């Protein structure tokens, strides 16, 4: 039996081998998975905000901190940075009727995370981003597959 | 200036009382709209870390949710109201209001309107009590995972703090056919403003 670990809003978790990392109800937030296929070490972060400001306390709620913190944790478990690849899901725009501008944050989250991963030379090997539906994400650390479950019940593997 | 994590019993009680008055008025509006008796649960005020939100609400439930932003008269962001109907409850309510529910868009806009009316009555009651003005934005509506609907708002709050304060009450009719959850996420601006109005801070 594979153990499931819940990643809360703005948190991250890493695991090795047979484990499932899951995060529930991503709207504008982003599920960012990093994976080392050689060592079978993976991490999943539930990213809320694109970038930290100078002087903010380190937290996985910011995309830039999430990448750093997950890489460090994975390295401590024996992963090599050059082997790490990424998968991302989320960044939707949930509201049809929208009156507050900041509600469009989803798109920006996706852009920032992509350019950030480029800076780190981490390749995004698959993604399912944007759209108007919420997603729950299950990341299987034993094989690096990600199950994306939409709020309308549709599921897909990336 | 109070921060969320500094709030003590007295401050939380005050917020509970303020929210209570808001929800009381909202329940009356809902009851008039539906022509049914609506009961409200004892309001709770919870301070929680954002990453532990799944401990107090069913984050993966599919809901019909209306989100309204609140501003003070000086146009400062005071907080957000989240009116949540579980999907079967939303359906039942639309039946009561519309009779015919075949047009999905019409159903959605009816539910959004109910959310809007609940928010406005909530707002009015609080503003009245405090003798001030709170300006609600037009409603934002979505049908999705409980948490997916509000994660943009949590992100806004997360820019400033890892904690949120949640005011939570359930509204129900006698047959348990209609259920709604009213949640208020006040910003630090909001509760400091309230405490100031009530003379609780110098």
Q: Average pLDDT for residues A62-75, to the nearest whole number?
A: 94
User: Model's pTM, two decimal places?
Assistant: 0.88
- Chain B residues in contact with A133 by the CB 8 A cut-off are 144
Per-residue pLDDT of chain B (202 residues; tens, 9 = 90+): 777 777 888 888 888 888 888 888 888 888 888 888 888 888 888 888 888 888 888 888 899 999 998 887 777 788 888 999 888 888 888 888 888 878 888 888 889 888 888 888 888 888 888 888 888 888 889 999 999 998 988 888 888 888 888 888 888 888 877 888 888 888 877 778 778 877 776 5
Helices (H), chain A: 63-76, 105-119
pLDDT higher than threshold 80 for residue A55: no
- For residues B112 and A87, give the distance between their C-alpha atoms in angstroms, rounded to a whole number: 35
- The Cα–Cα gap between B202 and B195 comes to 9
Q: Is B106 on the interface with A (CB under 8 A)?
A: no
Reported ipTM: the value is 0.88
| pLDDT value of residue A57 | 83
Task: Check pLDDT > 70 for residue A24.
Answer: yes
| Residue A139 pLDDT level (bands cut at 50, 70, 90) | very high
Question: In terms of CA atoms, which chain B residue is nearest residue A12?
Answer: B51
State the nearest Cα–Cα gap between B87 and chain A, in angstroms: 12
Residues of A in contact with B152 (CB under 8 A): 27-28, 94, 102-103, 105-106
- 3-class secondary-structure state, position A112: helix
Contact B145 A48 (CB under 8 A): no
Distance CA A85, CA B7 (A): 43
Q: Look up A29 and say whether it is catalytic.
A: yes
Name the H helices within A1-136. 63-76, 105-119
pLDDT (tens digit, 9 = 90+) per residue, A80-135? 999 999 999 999 998 876 666 666 788 888 999 999 999 999 999 999 999 999 99
- Tell whether B138 is within 8 A of chain A (Cβ): yes
Q: Helix/strand/coil (H, E, C) string of B51-108?
A: HHHHHCCCCCCEEEEEEEEEEECCCCEEEEEEEEEEHHHHHHHHHHHHCCCCCHHHHH
* B31 touching chain A per CB within 8 A: no
Dist CA A139 CA A146 (whole Å): 4
Dump the DSSP string for B131-179: TS-EEEPPPEEEEEEHHHHHHHHHHHHHTT-SEEEEEEEEEEETTS--E
A6 touches chain B (CB under 8 A): yes
To the nearest whole angstrom, how far is the Cα of B84 from the nearest Cα of chain A? Answer: 14
């Amino acid at each position: 039996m594979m153990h499931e670990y819940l990643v809360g809003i703005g948190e991250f978790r890493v695991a090795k081998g047979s484990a499932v990392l899951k995060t529930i109800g991503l709207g504008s937030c982003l599920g960012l998975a990093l994976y080392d296929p050689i060592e079978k070490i993976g991490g999943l972060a539930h990213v809320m905000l694109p970038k930290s400001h100078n002087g903010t306390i380190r937290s996985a709620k910011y995309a830039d901190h999430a990448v750093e913190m997950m890489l460090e944790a994975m390295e401590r478990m024996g992963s090599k940075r050059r082997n790490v690849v990424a998968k991302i899901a989320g960044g939707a725009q949930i509201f049809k009727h929208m009156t507050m501008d900041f509600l469009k944050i989803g798109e920006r989250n996706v852009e920032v995370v992509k350019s950030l991963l480029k800076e780190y030379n981490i390749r995004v090997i698959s993604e399912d981003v944007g759209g108007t539906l919420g997603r729950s994400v299950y990341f299987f650390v034993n094989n690096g597959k990600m199950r994306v479950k939409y709020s309308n019940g549709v599921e897909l593997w990336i | 200036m109070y921060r969320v994590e500094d709030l003590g019993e007295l401050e939380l009680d005050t917020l509970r009382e303020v929210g209570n008055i808001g929800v009381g008025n909202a329940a009356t509006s809902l009851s008039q709209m539906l022509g049914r008796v609506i009961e409200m649960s004892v309001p709770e005020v919870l301070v929680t870390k954002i990453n532990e939100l799944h401990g107090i609400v069913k984050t993966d439930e599919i809901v019909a949710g209306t989100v309204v932003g609140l501003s003070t008269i000086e146009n400062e962001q005071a907080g957000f109201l989240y009116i949540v109907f579980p999907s079967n409850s939303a359906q039942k309510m639309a039946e009561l209001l519309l009779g015919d529910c075949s047009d999905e868009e019409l159903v959605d806009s009816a539910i959004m309107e109910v959310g809007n009316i609940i928010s406005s009555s909530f707002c009015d009651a609080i503003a009245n009590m405090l003798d001030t003005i709170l300006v609600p934005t037009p409603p934002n509506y979505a049908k999705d995972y409980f948490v997916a609907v509000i994660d943009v708002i949590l992100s806004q709050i997360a820019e400033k703090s890892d904690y949120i304060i949640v005011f939570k009450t359930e509204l129900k009719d006698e047959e348990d056919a209609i259920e709604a959850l009213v949640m208020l996420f006040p910003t630090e601006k909001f509760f400091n403003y309230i405490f100031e109005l009530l003379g609780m801070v110098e």
